[in-house]
Structures are given as structure tokens and as C-alpha cells.
Amino acid sequence: MNQTSTPASTPASAAAPAPASASASPFEYAPAPESRSVVDIAPSYGLFIDGEFADAAGGKVFKTISPSTEEVLSEVAQAGAEDVDRAVKAARRAFEKWSALPGAERAKYLFRIARIIQERSRELAVLETLDNGKPIKETRDADLPLVAAHFFYYAGWADKLDHAGYGPNPRPLGVAGQVIPWNFPLLMLAWKIAPALAAGNTVVLKPAETTPLSALFFADICRQAGLPKGVVNIIPGYGDAGAALVEHPDVNKVAFTGSTAVGKAIARQVAGTDKKVTLELGGKGANIVFDDAPIDQAVEGIVGGIFFNQGQVCCAGSRLLVQESVQDELLDSLKRRLSTLRLGDPLDKNTDIGAINSAEQLARITALAETGEAEGAERWSPACELPSSGYWFAPTVFTGVTQAHTIARDEIFGPVLSVLTFRTPDEAVAKANNSQYGLSAGIWTEKGSRILAVANKLRAGVVWANTFNKFDPTSPFGGYKESGYGREGGRHGLEAYLDV
């Protein structure tokens, strides 16, 4: 594995590649840094309430830090209960007029937002990479195109709600309180806000405290698009702000993406109320490779499944189930492939592995990896020099893993792959389903009949066949068991925001 940049103190424009070993390829990558000049980050940001930026009532602020450099990017107002109340009241005032607009008129705003996102996609991609730590090629080529696509897609639904399958003239719920995570800040915002607005609801959204900037830039996009005041409100803050939003008596709909522990707390908070809730929580996805699978293709799917966004993906394929007869061949190929990945400066377009989002998350990944070793699993990582600043963790593969190992049961949310084996399809299904989670799974085989037979038995909300981590706004996403309930995306994603 190569490191794509010098330590974080070196400016991005001066970053130079560092070979993984003395035998580095003569065809070494030249640095290809994306310019930071395309995004202008203000020294401070307020809350976005009723169409205007404002200070928090309590005057509190917090700093948002770039995970790859530990550089302070900006200071952000920290919302409290009083600010949440202001935002909900603004959304309630805006709801009457917004919900009364013809669907075709709401669609115009959504289309306009989608086009502005496209126009500002380079700026937003750099911003997301700075604030989150993921590689620029992921924000540029995956996140931003999907963000725009979700707004385009739900703009198309805004005047067709009668034909969504939920009866004639379905009505919006009211004010939607939405809490999103830090792993896909702008994409999770799009998943939540686009269907809510299309259905005629107004929104109060709390972004994660480690990644508030793209949501605040989206607030500016709402103003640029001429969205009526109060329709979208953005309130950065910590868990207390999220709890105040969930508990607010004038919130009609709660949408949360994040950890299972917080999801359970939210379910308890709303129990006994008439609030509608969707929860998209943790996962421990099984990636099943049968003996007839195309090995090279499967290896690419495994790498994308667990090392995309440094494994900080709820539907990551963190459990590799490989048929015993091809285990050695597959692992040899996988290790060769991992040795070619490049870790380092997320703004370098050659980078495959970026920074872990926060010191807290890095500590969790490190602790669970150490637990895996202590419990007897065999740990392997490619030769990899980590940058001296920032939060970094080398891609890691554990073999000799059983279902009793902590690393096979707990969600690590990092670039750590646990490898288990199986002999028969029934054993593969049993091991894949032996989890408290049920969000995603992958199947690798050349037999279409096997794909259908196995997929039908897997208790997972999304099952990919001969691919992994493929998303589309037309396709519903969600889980079973402790991975939550409800669906986002597609026609199904509208139901959560309609009184049906």
C-alpha cells in the first residue's frame, strides 16, 4: 500500500507521494491534489432558521475539524432546546403555505435545488472531503451525483403523489425532524429532505456535530433557489439538540440515520405518541463468495464493500463468507489488491483510503481490532505508512474468525474485514443471518438460480448480486431487526412522509 501525501502539515498543493517500499513501481503516481481554493469556508457559521443565519440562543459554539489534518475548519453555532423550538415553530409557520402549493410548484424548487447542486458539485465535493475525511474521488464521483439525483427523482414525484400507490390525494404529515450521521453528510441530507419536501412537509434537520458544513452550505443553496423561508431549517449541535428535536411536541415525523443504540433511545422517546418514525441503523453485512464466483470481480466487490469510505458505511460488507474450496485463492488475490491501494491526503485524486472521521471513531476501531487479536483471530494489513497528523487506520483483514468473535458480531464501522468460511449454501445463509443486524448482503456466483434462492433466504433489506454498494434514488433502502425499520428511497420513501 502506498501513502499519497506527506504529513498533514504540508500544504495540499505541495503533497508528494511516499512509496510503500524500496521496490516501488517505476510508474509511481504523481500527486494530483484537488484545489482547496474552489471552496470558501467562512470562519464562523450560525444556525439556519426561518431562512436566515442566526446565533444560538445560548451563545455556544463548537469547532469542526478536518480529520486528515486536525485543522480547525470553522466555528459553528451550537443549537440548544430553545433553538430547536424556534426552528420547529418556523417550520410550522411555513408548512401551511408550502403544503398548499400544487405539487408542480414544489417540484420547481426541488429541480432548482438539484441543478444548483450540480453546478456547485466541485465546491461541495471538496468541502465534504475536508470536513469528513473521505477521498475526493468518492465525494466527486459517488456522493454528489447521488445527491443531485435524489432531488431530481423526488422532484418528479411531487406532482404525482396520487399515483404513488398510497390512495387518492395523500396528505403531508407536517413538520419533519431529521437527524443525520457524519459518514455521508450531504447524501443523508438528500435522502431525508428531498422526499419530505416533495410530499409537502417542512423540515428541521440536525447534522452530525463532526460534519456540519455541507448542511450549512445546503442552507445557502436553499436561499439561492428561492425556497420559501422556514421550509428547511438547519440546526447544528450535539446529541442534546437531536433529543430535543425528537421530543418536540410539534414534530410530526422523526427520521434518523445512525447508531442502533441511539435508534433504540429514539424509539423509546416517541413510544406512545402519534409521531411517524423511520430508523436506519447499524449493520454487519455479509458478503458471500461461492466457489464458482469470478474471483477478480469478487475481490473488487469485497474491497468496495468494506474499504469504501474507510468502512464507515452502515451497509458495509464487513463479514466476508467465502466457500472453503476457494478461500486461499481469494485471500491471496485480496491481499495483492489491498497492497495496491493508496492511503493519504483525501484531496489527492489518487487516494483510495482517506482519514477516519474523528478521534473518537478511531479509538473505537482500534479497540475492536485489538479485541479481535486478543480473541485469537489472525490480523493482516498491507505495508502502510500512516501520516503523522490526522486520524488514520490501515485496511485490516482478520482470518480465522468464528461467529463467536466480537469482530464478527459487533459493528466496527471502520476498514476492518472479518473472514469466515462455509461449505454449503445453507451454511452460508445460516451464518449470514446469524446477526442482530439485517441491513445488507452480497452474493457472488455465476448461477442466477443460486442468487435468487440465497437472496430469498437472507434477512437483509438490500441484497446485491455480483456487485456491492450500488445505490439509486429509485430503489428503497432499509433494514430488519436492529438495523431499523422503514424504507428510504424510491416510491417507498414517500410513504414515511405521507398520511396514508
What is the amino acid identity at position 126? V
Which DSSP helix (H) or strand (E) runs through 378?
strand 378-380
Report how far apart, in Å, the C-alpha atoms of 453 and of each of 326, 347, 409 are.
Answer: 21, 43, 25
Question: What nine digits make up the cell of 382?
Answer: 498491507
> Is 276 strand, coil or helix?
strand
Q: Which residues sit opposite 417 in a β-bridge?
A: 397
Of the residues 128, 222, 314, 482, only one is catalytic, namely 314
81-100 helix and 239-247 helix, angle to the nearest 10 degrees: 50
C-alpha cell of 277?
418514525
Buried b (16+ CB within 10 A) or exposed e, 333-344: bbeebbbebbbb
DSSP element (H, E) containing 156: helix 144-157
Please, how many CA atoms are within 13 Å of residue 94, restricted to the half-sphere of its CB? 24
Taking the alpha carbons of 192, 215, 473, 162 in that order, is the dihedral positive or negative? positive
373 is catalytic: no
d(CA 500, CA 495): 7
Give me 492's grid cell: 417507498
Residue carrying the nine cell digits 460488507: 317
The catalytic residue among 209, 280, 411, 482 is: 280
Largest Cα span, the chain = 69
314 included as an active-site residue: yes
Per-residue cell: 377: 483471530
Q: Which residues are catalytic?
A: 280, 314
